[in-house]
Amino acid sequence: MAGTDDDDPTLDWLLLGATRNRVTEYTDGSQKQAEDILLDGLDQYGPHQRPIRWRYRELRISDPHWVWTPETAKRFFFDRLGAGKVDVDWINHNATRTGPAFVPMGEKGAQILANGPRTILEARLIFLCWNDVLDILQPLGLTPQSSDLTAASSTPAPASTQSQQSPPESSTAEEPAPEAPSTPHKRNRRAPQVELVGELIAIVFPENKWHDMTPAAVLHKCDLDPRVKAKLQKEEKSLPSLKSFVRFMKRASARAR
């Protein structure tokens, strides 16, 4: 079941809207594509081998026959193959599912009560596991293979609040994820990284045809270029972070004015 092993302290968690905004950096600014990628990743019957783990601060269940449980609600909330409809509020980090309830049939299967009553599930203040998001983005070629991109928000994941319909169970209570550790002396490394960005861009774009591209797109092109990989390997350096690309391109644009 998605989310049963998400107490691992090494996992990084981002609010739903913050995750969408982060993924948008790697889709050339397309929020629609970022949202589709995340919704596919949350669907346990989606195209990916493992769904994105997620948490919520509060779960509300409106079910006249008490078919839903907190466990099944979390497991099938984002599944889009049934008759249910999911509306996502990316700005406020909430989601609402309306439609029939699911009854589990074994570990992976489920029976949809298509003729059952209309039910409503409301998950408030949703967090997504950034590690799982990266696992989905990397095969799509949307992120560089760089450890710089695994630094997540310092916002801790919340403890889930049980719906008033269901009795308290320890399996759905969630511990806050620890804050991401700060990186010492980061300021001292910024200038060399920004300079390295300029060297890599000069290799990939000898005619400076990068000014109309987003920093994420430029980073992606550099990451795929074999000449860049050869240079980084020879000099024993890693690909600079997205922030370094943003910083270099802002400076270059300011100088060109």
- pLDDT confidence of 159, banded at 50, 70, 90? low
Same-domain check for residues 108 and 38: yes
30 and 152 housed in the same domain: yes
Q: What are 188-242's pLDDT values in tens digits? A: 344 578 888 889 989 998 877 787 788 777 887 888 888 988 888 888 888 888 7
Q: Which run of H or of E encompasses 197?
A: helix 186-204
Residue among 3, 12, 4 nearest 177 (CA)? 12
Residue 221, number of CB atoms within 10 A of its CB: 16
- The predicted pLDDT at position 191 comes to 58
Range of the domain at 201: 186-252
Residue % of the chain over a pLDDT of 70 = 70
Q: Which of 116, 147, 172 is the last residue of a domain?
A: 172
Over the stretch 24-62, which tens digit does the pLDDT of each residue have? 988 888 899 999 999 989 987 666 778 899 999 999 999
Q: How far apart are CA 8 and CA 15, in angstroms?
A: 17
Tell me the three state secondary structure of residue 112.
strand
Q: Are residues 31 and 92 in the same domain?
A: yes
Does residue 152 contact residue 23 with C-beta atoms inside 8 Å? Answer: no
The CA distance from 37 to 30, in Å, is 11
SS3 call for 59: strand
Which residue, among 186, 199, 189, has the nearest Cα to 232 in the 3D structure? 199
In-domain check, residue 222: yes
Q: How many domains does the chain have?
A: 2
Contact 63, 119 (CB under 8 A): yes
Flag whether pLDDT at 147 surpasses 70: no
Last residue of a domain, one of 172, 198, 218: 172
192, 165: one domain? no
Q: Let me know whether 20 and 145 are in one domain.
A: yes
Residues 120 and 225 in one domain: no
Residues 104 and 165 in one domain: yes
* Within a domain: 2: no
Cβ atoms of 161 and 57 within 8 Å: the answer is yes
The per-residue pLDDT for range 94-110, each reduced to its tens digit, is 999 998 887 766 555 55
Scanning the structure block, which residue is given the tokens 């310092």?
154
Determine contact, residues 241/193, Cβ cutoff 8 Å.
Answer: yes
Q: Which two tokens stand for residue 24?
A: 């948008």
pLDDT band at residue 76 under the 50/70/90 scheme: confident
**pLDDT for res 2:** 37
For position 46, what pLDDT does the model report? 66
**Pair 163, 70 in one domain:** yes
**111 and 231 together in one domain:** no
Do 161 and 224 have their domain in common? no
Same domain, 98 and 144: yes
Domain end: 172, 205, 223, which one?
172
* Two structure tokens written together for 166: 């269901």
Quick one: tokens of 201? 């861009």
Helix axes 16-24, 31-42, angle to 10 degrees: 130
- Same domain for 190 and 100? no
